[in-house]
Amino acid sequence: MDLPVIEPPIAPRWVWMEEVTYSHIPIATLITAFLVLAPIFEYIGYRTKDSRYDRLAKSMVVFCMILYSPGAALGTGIPIFIIGMWPEFWSRWSNLFFWPLIVQFIFFLLDVFFLFFCYYLPWDKMQNRKRLHIFFGVMTAIFGLLIQAVWDALGAYMTTPGAPLPAVNDPVGWSPQAFFNPSYPYLFFHRFFANISWTMLLMGGVFALKYLRQKDDKEKAYFGFVSDLTFTIGFVAFFMMPFIGWGFAKVLQQKAPVAFHSIMGGHASSFFMIKMGLISIMLFLGGGYLFTRHKRKFIIGLMTAGIISSYLVLQWHPALDWLPGGPFVWRVSYTVLFLAFLIYLWMMKREGLHNRTIWKWAMFTAGLAAFFAFTFGGFTRSRARQPYNVYEQLVKVEVLPRELDRTLLYKKCVTCHHKTPKDFERYGKKDWPTRVAIERKRDGVSMSDEEAERITRYLKEHY
């Protein structure tokens, strides 16, 4: 299809796209997470008669009200950019999901209705009708999550399409196979817990700084309390991520191997490593703080269990061949690091210096690290799918020959070796033409002369 494609000025098209999505997605995810937690806090406040929970819940809802319009307005930029820059993708994709998008529109209206008229406006008037008010909060949360549920289906489809992308003139409207595609549940739950985790960690960090600035003792006590509460929730919620992420990666390995290999050692791996680095910073600072802060065995036990479970995920992961000495040295190194981390945490526990200014800044830094880990996660996912709009269904208009060759190499070679593109770097001989000629003859390999030539050229240039 030769639809007219708009070339944006100044920056390449993907930069424009990332810019507009990054303006919308952090706001949308924050609102979704806040609206899930607000009625829960309100309920706890109602049951325990502790007004701090009610104040916290209300302040979160007020914050959502402030962000709702800019978030929605910025969201409208996303389809506009796609319509101009990738018109064929837009028309085929939106036509496949026309009815879910309409339903999403209705969810949006209901969400606004419940949030504005039933939850936010009558907050004070309904102090004596708390149960009904909390019910309205729950309805707001449900519609917020349903909006996310629709968009995650569309987003997951782009990496693991469960059904073919229809032609431009083929009015599909709705396809359950496309909607309930293989990576959809993983994306949804990965996002759900990530949203709770990064928003609560960052909010805890911001409240910690507010705590430092308060002069009034009562206010100081309030901010100390809510910063600890939210930060702890964010920290504990994080430990769901390695498990869901593991399942997510497994599905990609089966259904979108090229995207999988891009992340695991391929061209998107550096972003993934930055994300892991940011998570380590968050764990180090956040864990240190929470162990100095909490005396309750239950919370300390929960965090220790979370850290040990993350260690298990590393154990399941195939050993990395990074360090001199190979996989064994890798396993020993991270085991030593984990033990050192646990010892550091238990030493912190004995310190009990959590009110020090430096710890409040550590919380804020941990919150920022969590936020950037979240942004790098999304970035890695969209980079891994390059050069496709929809995995193996539609290639982007601006695709470079180099990117197509890379995809071919991953598909024809790495998927069989089941390791990583890094293996080509480690292969000493670099006799690529001979090597490709040998590999072509293996059982089950089908490769045209032209494909072999492109793979050889790519290997010569990049390894």
Residue from 463, 419, 417, 421 nearest 439 by CA = 417
261 near ligand HEC, judged by CB under 6 A: no
Q: Which residues have CB under 8 Å from 163's CB, separation 6+?
A: 96, 175, 177, 178, 181
To the nearest whole angstrom, how small is the minimum distance from the Cβ of residue 332 to ligand HEC?
24
> 């098209």: which residue's tokens?
13
Of 153 and 413, CB closest to ligand HEC: 413
To the nearest whole angstrom, how small is the minimum distance from the Cβ of residue 302 to ligand HEC?
43
- 47-57: string of b/e by CB count within 10 Å (b at 16+)? eeeeebbbebb
Of 243 and 463, CB closest to ligand HEC: 463
To the nearest whole angstrom, how small is the minimum distance from the Cβ of residue 253 to ligand HEC?
16
Residues 415-454 that bind ligand HEC (CB under 6 A): 416-417, 427, 435-436, 439, 442, 444-445
Of 9 and 444, CB closest to ligand HEC: 444
Residue number of the CB atom closest to ligand HEC: 413
Site for ligand HEC (CB under 6 A): which residue of 88, 208, 413, 458?
413
Torsion of CA 40, 46, 47, 49, to 10 degrees: 130
Of 105 and 427, CB closest to ligand HEC: 427
To the nearest whole angstrom, how small is the minimum distance from the Cβ of residue 455 to ligand HEC?
5
To the nearest whole angstrom, how small is the minimum distance from the Cβ of residue 436 to ligand HEC?
5
462 near ligand HEC, judged by CB under 6 A: no
- Considering only the stretches 130-138, 284-292, 296-304, 411-419, report the one whose residues sit in contact with ligand HEC under the rule CB under 6 A: 411-419
Q: What span, in angstroms and rounded, lies between the C-alpha atoms of 408 and 457? A: 12
To the nearest whole angstrom, how small is the minimum distance from the Cβ of residue 144 to ligand HEC?
46
Of 59 and 253, CB closest to ligand HEC: 253
Note if the bond before 318 is cis, omega within 30 degrees: no
Interior CA angle at 185 toward 43 and 30, to 5°?
A: 45
Q: What span, in angstroms and rounded, lies between the C-alpha atoms of 414 and 260? A: 10
CB atoms within 10 A of CB 159: 25
> 């197509």: which residue's tokens?
404
Residues binding ligand HEC: what is the number (CB under 6 A)?
12
- 370-388: string of b/e by CB count within 10 Å (b at 16+)? bbbbbbbbbbbbbbbbbbb
To the nearest whole angstrom, how small is the minimum distance from the Cβ of residue 266 to ligand HEC?
14
Residues that bind ligand HEC (CB under 6 A): 412-413, 416-417, 427, 435-436, 439, 442, 444-445, 455
